[in-house]
Structure 1
């Protein structure tokens, strides 16, 4: 991607966050106290988030007087911690159930600004063609972050693979499975690693952005796909609480809801990513 910086989970684990973000500076990244003429630094997952932001930067931002800098991340933690600390001014990678859980567990204060798109979660396999073909004792990989694991289990329940206990909510885990007639085994992995496990498991539930990044088409390659109707998992632009009215954030939110961005999403992703506005 043009003018982006990729930071891997391994680098994060090595403690390189400060090094990777030090160039941002609090003035360019932070919200209400930042210079309104400084670049707005946005942390984003690569696909489709950074790609959408790069489109805005290349085609729309100058007309609105917005200086935009996009920083790519491959994990679901750093974008929020960097936004909380002010090292970036906003992020774009997550949905509300994930953010609510993250804020609660990490005492952070990140808030949504505007919802942009939905990435339908899907079940993929290299060995079976239909979900009903999963054999007894098959292994299915799941994303291990709280809300996406629950979301994956609900997808499997919706298609008759398992049945969850009554009342299982957005923090459901395999321990909340009430019925598992095929005795499916679950392999819990960091979300970015799940597509790479497809060669080693019978099937995997993959987040939409990581599916696209792995050259999988949710619309064409999935065995089953999450419905977009009444879906609470739309991905949004987010900031630290109090920075919602930063003029740069307001400009970016407007551009992300433009007809041009809607057409870009529809033309580029062909149903694998769906505009949510």
Structure 2
């Protein structure tokens, strides 16, 4: 699933895109500014894709790596496939789903399955999704320690407040030997003494600001989502702890409204799983900060 929320000014590079920061534009204002209304009617499932008259697909995405992957598709593959991507970038994890639910976008590309399931359960969204495209490993960064072993008892860990991702962060700490017995529904603020034998203290924060918190002298370790690592210009090469991508269940995928997988969305999902996209990901992020999931 991108980085910091200081990007709150709309810009229009390759396609029509929407940059939304935490304290920036409201969704309604942003949509009015870019003119995205989703149309009066849903796209017909009977549409035949025609390269001479491409079908527009509006896709919400986090800036890095998702929007960059979509830009590659749009510049290199979409035209011959009969689709034209309009990419709207969002700097947080809530607005892309709001936009999709309201019909302002046709699909989005930024979620993994645990987060998708949490959003559907909490918000009541009626969405469907495709297979995983890529994995961005979680990582823990520290200005005070150079290994997991050097993190002391009682250390303060900055962690996401997102329930769809927090167990993922806790599992990474468990793999590093800092926690024990983490379950799918474990929460940082309610760990038992058996689960948290080192007495680690947790500070919950919105995922998009955790990069800034790494510099806080009170923080021993900040656990950051892969997309925000990339957007900040950081690398997992400098992390203290990095999540394994082997058998990783957190691959990001394309999602759309239930029952609305049009031929254009189906074609986009196919292109995202093409050899060309796999090569692009591997060549752009050779250290594995983004790893193909297919």
TM-score (norm 2): 0.86
Which 5+ residue runs of structure 1 have no aligned equivalent? Answer: none
What SS is found at the alignment partner of 1:9?
coil
Aligned residues: 270
Spell out structure 1 runs of 4+ moving beyond 6 A.
Answer: 33-36
Name the structure 2 match of 1:88. 105
Q: Distance in 2 between matches of 1:135 and 1:31?
A: 56
Q: Choose from 271, 280, 288 the match for 1:255.
A: 271
Q: Distance in 2 between matches of 1:119 and 1:86?
A: 27
**CA-based RMSD:** 2.0
Q: Choose from 114, 117, 125 the match for 1:97.
A: 114
Q: Distance in 2 between matches of 1:71 and 1:184?
A: 39
Q: CA deviation at 1:51?
A: 0.6
Change (3 A) 1:80 1:257: same
Q: Choose from 128, 136, 150 the match for 1:133.
A: 150
Q: Distance in 2 between matches of 1:247 and 1:24?
A: 21
Structure holding more strand per residue: 1
Report the more deviating stretch, 173-182 or 55-64. 173-182
Which 5+ residue runs of structure 2 have no aligned equivalent? Answer: 1-12
Verify: 1:269 aligned to 2:285, yes or no. yes
Q: CA deviation at 1:84?
A: 1.2
What SS is found at the alignment partner of 1:141?
strand
Output aligned runs, 1:118-157, within 5 Å: 118-157=135-174
- Listed one character per residue, the Cα deviations across residues 157-188 of structure 1 (whole Å, up to 9, x for unaligned) are 111112246xx224533303434333221111
Structure holding more helix per residue: 1
Name the structure 1 match of 2:67. 50
Name the structure 2 match of 1:174. 189
Verify: 1:19 aligned to 2:29, yes or no. yes
Q: Is residue 113–residue 251 contact of structure 2 (8 Å, CA) maintained in 1?
A: yes
Report the more deviating stretch, 93-102 or 222-231. 222-231
Q: Distance in 1 between matches of 2:136 and 2:43?
A: 27
Name the structure 2 match of 1:193. 209
TM-score (norm 1): 0.91
Q: CA deviation at 1:93?
A: 0.5
- Listed one character per residue, the Cα deviations across residues 135-174 of structure 1 (whole Å, up to 9, x for unaligned) are 2322111111002111101110111112246xx2245333
Q: Is residue 188–residue 202 contact of structure 2 (8 Å, CA) maintained in 1?
A: no
